[in-house]
Structure 1
Amino acid sequence: MTQIAKRKLVALTCAAMTQHGIVLLLIGPILPSVMKAFRIQESAAGMMLGLGSLGFMLGPIVAGTIADRAGAKWILLFGLIGEVVLLSLFGFAPAFLWAVVINMLLHFAAAFVETAVNVIPTLVERRHTGSLMNLVHLFFGVGALASPFLAGLILKFTDNWRLVLWSAALPTLALALATWRLRFPSHREHMEREGRSSQITFPALLRNRAVLLGALALGLYVGAEVGLSNWIVLYLQRRLGLATLASTSGLSVLWIGIMAGRYLNSLLARSRSSRELVLWAGVGGLVSGLGLLTARSLWEAYVWLGIIGLFMSGVYPNIMADLNGRDPSRTGAVTGILTVGAAAGAMVSQPLLGVIAEWMGLSVAMAMPAVLMGLLTVAYLSAADVKPEARDAGAFSS
Structure 2
Amino acid sequence: MKKPGSAVRPSSRTYVFQLLTVFVGFLVFGFSENIKGPAIPRIQFDFRLNEQQLGSLLSLNALGYLLACSFTGFLVRRLGIKAVSLLAFGSMALSGVLIAVSRTYPAFSASYFLMYIGNGMLEIALAILAARIFVKNTGTMMNLSHFFYGLSSTVAPLLASGLMSMSLGGFTLDWRGMYLIMLSLSVLPMLPALFSRFPGDTPEEKEQRPPISSLLRDRTLLLITLVLTFGVISELSIGGWLVNFLEKAYSWNVTEASGLLSLFFLCFTLARLFAGPITDRIGFTLSLALFAGASALCTFAAIVFGEPAAFLFAAAGIGIAPIYPTVMALIAKRYPRGSDIAITVSVTLMGVGSVIGNYLIGFLIEACKRLAGGGSLGLLRGLQAGYAFIGLCALASSLLSVALFRSLKRRGELL
TM value normalised by structure 1: 0.89
Give 1:103 deviation, angstroms.
Answer: 2.4
Structure 2 CA distance, aligned partners of 1:52 and 1:217? 25
- Aligned residue type for 2:42: S
Q: Does structure 1 conserve the Cα–Cα contact (< 8 Å) formed by 2:285 and 2:404?
A: no
Counterpart AA for 1:36: F
How many residues are matched? 386
Contact kept? 1:69, 1:187, Cα under 8 Å: no
Is residue 16 from structure 1 mapped to residue 30 from structure 2 by the alignment? no
The aligned counterpart of 2:122 is: 113
Give 1:69 shift.
4.3
* Equivalent in the alignment of 1:365: 386
In structure 2, what is the equivalent of residue 323 of structure 1? 331
Task: Give yes or no for the alignment of 1:239 onto 2:260.
Answer: no
Matching residue of 1:378: 399
Output aligned runs, 1:105-144, within 5 Å.
Answer: 105-144=114-153
Task: Return the match for 2:176 from 145, 153, 162.
Answer: 162
User: Using the alignment, how far apart are the partners of 2:209 and 2:197 within structure 1?
Assistant: 24
The answer as to 2:188 corresponding to 1:179 is: no
Which structure has the larger Rg? 2
Distance 2:284 2:74 in 1: 25
Residue among 349, 355, 366 paired with 2:363: 355
Residue number in structure 1 paired with 2:276? 266
8 Å Cα contact 2:132-2:200 kept in structure 1: no
- Post-superposition shift, 1:35? 0.8
Distance in 2, matches of 1:319 and 1:135, equals: 14
Q: Report which stretch shifted further, 48-57 or 210-219.
A: 210-219
Comparing 108-117 with 377-386, greater Cα deviation is found at 377-386
1:233: Cα distance to partner? Answer: 0.5
Q: Identify which of 341, 349, 354 aligns with 1:346.
A: 354
Q: How far is 1:263 from its partner?
A: 1.5
In 1, Cα distance between the equivalents of 2:214 and 2:99? 38
User: Partner of 1:39: helix, strand, or coil?
Assistant: coil
Of the structure 1 ranges 14-23 and 113-122, higher mean CA displacement relative to structure 2 is found in 113-122
SS state at 2:334 partner: coil
Looking at structure 1, the residues matched to 60 and 112 of structure 2 have their Cα atoms a distance apart, in angstroms, of: 8
Q: Deviations over 1:286-336 (max 9, x none)?
A: 1001122245557x42x3133211111111111121124322221111111
Per-residue deviation, 1:281: 1.0
1:267-306 correspondence runs (5 A): 267-294=277-304, 296-297=306-307, 300-301=309-310, 303-306=311-314
SS in 2 for 1:271: helix
Partner of 2:98: 89
Structure 1 Cα separation of the partners of residues 301 and 103 of structure 2: 48
**CA shift for structure 1 position 389:** 11
Alignment of 1:142-221 (within 5 A): 142-157=151-166, 158=172, 160-188=174-202, 191=205, 197-221=207-231
* Unaligned stretches of 5+ residues in structure 1: 391-395
State the alpha-carbon separation in 2 of the partners of residues 357 and 179 from structure 1.
46
Could you tell me the percent identity over the aligned residues?
A: 18
Distance 1:322 1:182 in 2: 25
Q: Distance in 1 between matches of 2:94 and 2:45?
A: 24
Amino acid corresponding to residue 169 of structure 1 in structure 2 = L
Aligned to 1:393: none
Judge which range, 56-65 or 2-11, deviates more: 2-11
Structure 2 counterpart of 1:49, from 33, 47, 58: 58
Residue type of the partner of 2:313? L
Structure 2: how far apart are the matches of 1:67 and 1:129?
21
**Alignment TM-score, normalising by the size of structure 2:** 0.86
Considering only aligned residues, what root-mean-square deviation do their CA atoms show, in Å? 2.5
Change over 3 Å in CA distance of 1:251–1:81 after alignment to 2: same
Higher RCO (CA-CA < 8 Å; seq separation 6+)? 1
Deviation per residue, 1:215-238 (Å, 9 max, x gap)? 222221221111111110011112
